[in-house]
Structure 1
Amino acid sequence: MVVLAAVFVCAACGLVYELSLVTLGSYLLGNTVTQTSLVLAVTMFAMGVGAVAAKPLLGHPLRAFVGVELALAVVGGFSVPALYAAFAWLSLYTPAMVVASFAIGLLVGAEIPLLMALLQHLRRQDAAHAVADINAVDYVGALVGGLAFPFLLLPLLGLLEGALATAALNVAAAAVVALALGRRARTRTPVLVAVSACVVTALALGLMAWRASAFEATAQQALYRDPIVHSERSAYQSIVVTRGWFQGAEFDDVRLYLDGDLQFSSVDEYRYHEMLVHPAMAGPHARVLVLGGGDGLALREVLGYDDVEEVTLVDLDPAVVDLARSYEPIRDLNDDAWADPRVTYEAADAFSWARDAVDDGQEYDVVVVDYPDPDSPALAKLYSREHYATLRSLLAPDARMVVQSGSPFFAPDAFWCVRRTLADAGFATTPYHADVPSFGDWGWVLARPDDAGAPTLDLAAGAPRTRYASPAVLDASAVFPPDMADRSGDVSTLLDPAILRYSEHAWVGY
């Protein structure tokens, strides 16, 4: 029973380590598909290598198992802080992740042959029956580890401390097996050595857990230019606010980052949000739908129109909205927009919410689409033909929709893919762009149903005062120089997210 219990613990821990590496990669780099594929492929290959490498150790399975477990506790437990450090200070994340995945897979692969040998030493039995017992327990352990990671370890301990807690289970497995089976040895020395090694490893893990918060804060700060003044991890993403004070200047720079991607800088965010919102408000605008933009800055621009009757804002992460409502520097930027009684907030995935809204017969005069850049499959679906077709069904007669579309200079293929996809979904479009210093040259696509013709870039009569957007600026924004001219390519769909491919090849060299 001791050996089978060890099999259970080892399987659960091994899967947690793999999931930890996948999750860390998605936090830091955002591309879940690539990270998952790399981690699983390298780990599975290394497990095969580890199984073969364990053959010379089968003559002393107890000693070898304890050594492998302690090595796995160190490698697996310290893999998350080590990779975070590699990303923050060395810019070597992917090579380090491959090495960590291989090392974890190598050690996990050695566990089963050693446990099999231990089981045979304890009770001689048919090899097929022994393999069946071990595999059954192994798969159940993997199930428990896979479920414990998202529902227990991650929410209660976080990624870093969760990996360390998992490593403690490896140490415990090594200690229990050593104590339970070591009595068969001729001397107590091997048991004492094994238990002492377990104690030392446990102390090292405990020390790292004690310093985990300080380490994470130091490593996180290394990723940002300005001091971090707020940091949290919501159920969906990392939320970081930095604030830089400029000596001798009359302003400071408040910046919001989601999963490391800049969302706005207080120095120039008005340029982005004025250009996003005001061209779409040139027609009817009694009922407005804002998709994304939980920071409330697009909301601020919409609410500047006194004749707006109601605004519905859909954003997946309530933590961002709570921050924009309560954190004074951001609340000051959005003019306390969330306190306006005309605003209704829906905490939902915009893709699913829009489909339900169509079924409910909802219609809007203006739709402002302010999604993050499509650098993951979860975001790419929000730039698909299917989603745009759904949004088209939400538009009232003479309605307008605007879509933030990225940079036509740094990511031209992705930018023009948005326009092509909107056209394929039944929209007449007008692309435009402007200089937002924090982002560079940035672009949007204004759209309305194709039977109404391409929308013009205008400001509404009685539009609120703007600091950047003006009739002359809007006229100029529709002009694209030759190096940013429209180009051919694919339409992005749910099953073929072309925009994700285009985004992955953008920003090269920048």
Structure 2
Amino acid sequence: MIEPRTPVPSGVPRARSEEGRAPLPVAPLPVKQATGRFLVLAGVFLCAACGLVYELELVALASYLIGDSVTQASVVLSVMVFAMGIGSLGAKRLRLRAAAGFGAVEAALALVGGCSAMALYAVFAWTGDWGGSWAGGSRYMLVGFSLAIGVLIGAEVPLLMVLIQRIRRQDPGGAVADLFAADYVGALVGGLAFPFLLLPMLGQLTGALLTGAVNALAGGALVLGLFRRDLTRRGRWTLLVANVVVLGLLASAAVLVDDFERAARQAMYGKDVRVAVQTGVQEVVVTGGKHEPLNLYLDGRLRVSGRDQQRYHEALVRPAMDGPHARVLILGGGDGLAAREVLRFPGVRQVDIVEIDPGVVHLARNDPPLSALNGHVYEDPRVRAVTADAFRWLRGPHAPYDVVISDLPDPGITASTKLYSQEFYGLAAQVLAPDGRLAVHAGSLSSRPRVFWTVDTTLRAAGLRTVPYWVGTGEPPAPAGRRHGAWDRLTGITDGPDRTLDGTRAPSDWGFELAGPRPLPEGAVPRERVRAAERSRITGLAPSTLVHPRYAD
């Protein structure tokens, strides 16, 4: 219900604000009420879209840089919502200067939100290996940006509420409904634009910078165009200069973003970066391959190390090939290195590789150093590559396989926990021949024994018999209950979710599982490797399932 403002009778003092100060005189708007109202709601729409893009960009980049997308999303969302409450309270002091306050908030939000991705990436790239208090620098920066962006977003709605009432006096419930409707629709558009438009077309850094520019233009245009008479001459010039500076900084960063990315990659991967592409699934980086060992990184995590790939893939594949092996299925392994080891055995008639990222398969086919490393397996007519999610692919009808090789990212990465679940192993068991074998890479026994033995428990829960084994150099894994910190520092094994090693040191440790529906043949795995793994056995663990993953350390 619209209530017209009643003129204050002569001699009656004007109402004072909660702070006891008289309100500022209200200047007329340069447009009609309906037009002004539409412009305010359009500003709400754009600002809400930008705010959600900042939020999603922080979650996506933190998941890529730090890992564990569930944890990063929880941290960003909870901190940001808490900060929005603080921002709403703080905005109470700006209500008497709502136009100037909103303009300042939007300029600050555009700068902070637009540059957040570059700043977070820079801290990760240049300080990630410093150790000490800097080891968690990316996490501290993530929380800091979540707080700052949340405070600024939280200040928007109270100020916009004053501005929309400034145009036309309205029942507070109706005004709030209008604002929130525009806000929620804007959030929908921003939420859809990020994964389907900004991320694939512009990338995280340029996408965030463009969002900041839109934010600055929307906020500045609304205040300077519609409410400019509410500002003093000095205030208008201050806000104009501030927005020009913000837009200039964002534009300069956008021009230099390619050089920045190259420098950051060199800081993380070294100067010998040969390939750096963003596929539809992940970022793929290849270093070395000519004069240095080839390394393949997927989303910043080392997946193939030229220093150790031979030993790793032999340990993964060879025990499973002890028995019938005419038909072999490789889950993951798009780099072709596991297939190379499989094809060394006589009698192999068919090798099917199920890889989710066609970009990895394309690289393994066409990159000369990587293709040479995998023995040009994709030129072998027995090898067939299928682009599919391994879990979904296993749910279809398939002829039984003698051997299934699971060469997948470690279970500590949230996106891959379903590929180490009881349901997944149940599906894998269905495609195994009665005397078939399943080989699983289950992470590092020395640094993450609980994760390894959870994989073992999960395989058994799926009805498979298991033989755990350890492959490494030097000292075997410590017995259960003993701390592993000194051994980790000695070997260079990290506590990260994937097999990321110090590239300057020899790799040292992997844990594997050989499983099957029937008792496995003795001698498939050397006894000393089995005994080395059994030393660290942890009992009483529950299996990991789709609805209750249990791979967090």
| Corresponding residue number in structure 1 for 2:70 | 33
| Corresponding residue number in structure 2 for 1:117 | 162
**Which one-letter code corresponds to 2:339 in the other structure?**
L
Larger Rg: 2
**Which one-letter code corresponds to 2:541 in the other structure?**
G
Cα deviation, residue 475, structure 1: 4.2
Cα deviation, residue 379, structure 1: 0.7
Select 1:268's aligned residue among 297, 305, 308: 308
Contact between 1:286 and 1:308, CA under 8 Å: does it hold in 2?
A: yes
Partner secondary structure for residue 58 of structure 2 = helix
Select 1:212's aligned residue among 238, 241, 257: 257
CA distances 1:478-510 after superposition (whole Å, capped 9, x unpaired): 221775345442211222212x22xxx3xxxxx
Contact between 1:430 and 1:455, CA under 8 Å: does it hold in 2?
A: no
Alignment partner of 1:243 is 2:265: no
Contact between 2:69 and 2:415, CA under 8 Å: does it hold in 1?
A: no
Consecutive unaligned residues in structure 2, runs of 5 or more: 1-37, 129-136, 474-504
Alignment partner of 1:492 is 2:537: no
CA distances 1:372-419 after superposition (whole Å, capped 9, x unpaired): 101233211111111111111111132111111112222111112222
Partner Cα separation in structure 1 for residue 384 and residue 253 of structure 2:
44
| Corresponding residue number in structure 2 for 1:338 | 378
Alignment partner of 1:445 is 2:513: yes
Select 2:205's aligned residue among 160, 169, 178: 160
Contact between 1:448 and 1:455, CA under 8 Å: does it hold in 2?
A: no
Select 1:108's aligned residue among 153, 160, 171: 153
| Corresponding residue number in structure 1 for 2:133 | none
Identity within the alignment, %: 49
Contact between 1:407 and 1:440, CA under 8 Å: does it hold in 2?
A: no
Partner Cα separation in structure 1 for residue 56 and residue 230 of structure 2:
37
CA distances 1:186-226 after superposition (whole Å, capped 9, x unpaired): 75443333223222211110000011111122122222356
Where does 1:119-158 land on structure 2 (aligned, <5 Å)? 119-158=164-203
Partner Cα separation in structure 2 for residue 175 and residue 127 of structure 1:
25
Alignment partner of 1:477 is 2:529: yes
Select 2:449's aligned residue among 388, 412, 432: 412
CA distances 1:98-138 after superposition (whole Å, capped 9, x unpaired): 11001001000111111111111121122111111111111
Partner secondary structure for residue 365 of structure 1 = strand
| Corresponding residue number in structure 1 for 2:54 | 17
**Which one-letter code corresponds to 2:86 in the other structure?**
V
The farther-off stretch of 391-400 and 49-58 is: 391-400
Partner Cα separation in structure 2 for residue 144 and residue 134 of structure 1:
16
**Which one-letter code corresponds to 1:480 in the other structure?**
A
Where does 1:385-424 land on structure 2 (aligned, <5 Å)? 385-424=422-461
Consecutive unaligned residues in structure 1, runs of 5 or more: 246-250, 459-472, 506-510
CA distances 1:226-270 after superposition (whole Å, capped 9, x unpaired): 63221122222221112287xxxxx63111111222112223211
Partner secondary structure for residue 53 of structure 2 = helix
Normalising to structure 1: TM-score of the pair? 0.90
Partner secondary structure for residue 223 of structure 1 = helix
**Which one-letter code corresponds to 2:150 in the other structure?**
G
CA distances 1:50-74 after superposition (whole Å, capped 9, x unpaired): 0110111111111111110000011
Where does 1:312-351 land on structure 2 (aligned, <5 Å)? 312-351=352-391
Alpha carbons of structure 1 residues 268 and 377: separation in structure 2 relative to 1, 3 Å: closer
**Which one-letter code corresponds to 2:510 in the other structure?**
W
Partner Cα separation in structure 1 for residue 232 and residue 465 of structure 2:
84
| Corresponding residue number in structure 1 for 2:487 | none
Alpha carbons of structure 1 residues 447 and 483: separation in structure 2 relative to 1, 3 Å: closer
Partner Cα separation in structure 1 for residue 372 and residue 203 of structure 2:
31
Contact between 2:405 and 2:440, CA under 8 Å: does it hold in 1?
A: yes
Partner secondary structure for residue 222 of structure 1 = helix
| Corresponding residue number in structure 1 for 2:222 | 177
Contact between 1:182 and 1:190, CA under 8 Å: does it hold in 2?
A: no
Contact between 2:106 and 2:220, CA under 8 Å: does it hold in 1?
A: no
| Corresponding residue number in structure 1 for 2:330 | 290
| Corresponding residue number in structure 1 for 2:242 | 197
Partner Cα separation in structure 2 for residue 342 and residue 284 of structure 1:
16
| Corresponding residue number in structure 2 for 1:470 | none
Select 2:112's aligned residue among 64, 75, 82: 75
Partner Cα separation in structure 2 for residue 66 and residue 253 of structure 1:
53
Partner Cα separation in structure 2 for residue 302 and residue 448 of structure 1:
18
Partner secondary structure for residue 218 of structure 2 = helix
Cα deviation, residue 44, structure 1: 0.5
**Which one-letter code corresponds to 1:48 in the other structure?**
G
Partner secondary structure for residue 478 of structure 1 = helix
Contact between 1:182 and 1:191, CA under 8 Å: does it hold in 2?
A: no
Partner secondary structure for residue 236 of structure 2 = helix
Partner Cα separation in structure 2 for residue 269 and residue 217 of structure 1:
26
Residues matched between the structures, number: 477
Where does 1:82-97 land on structure 2 (aligned, <5 Å)? 82-91=119-128, 92-97=137-142
| Corresponding residue number in structure 2 for 1:455 | 521
Alignment partner of 1:366 is 2:403: yes
Partner secondary structure for residue 484 of structure 1 = coil
Cα deviation, residue 45, structure 1: 0.7
Partner Cα separation in structure 1 for residue 98 and residue 53 of structure 2:
24
| Corresponding residue number in structure 2 for 1:279 | 319
The farther-off stretch of 486-495 and 340-349 is: 486-495
Select 1:224's aligned residue among 242, 245, 269: 269
CA distances 1:46-97 after superposition (whole Å, capped 9, x unpaired): 1111011011111111111111000001110111111111222234011111
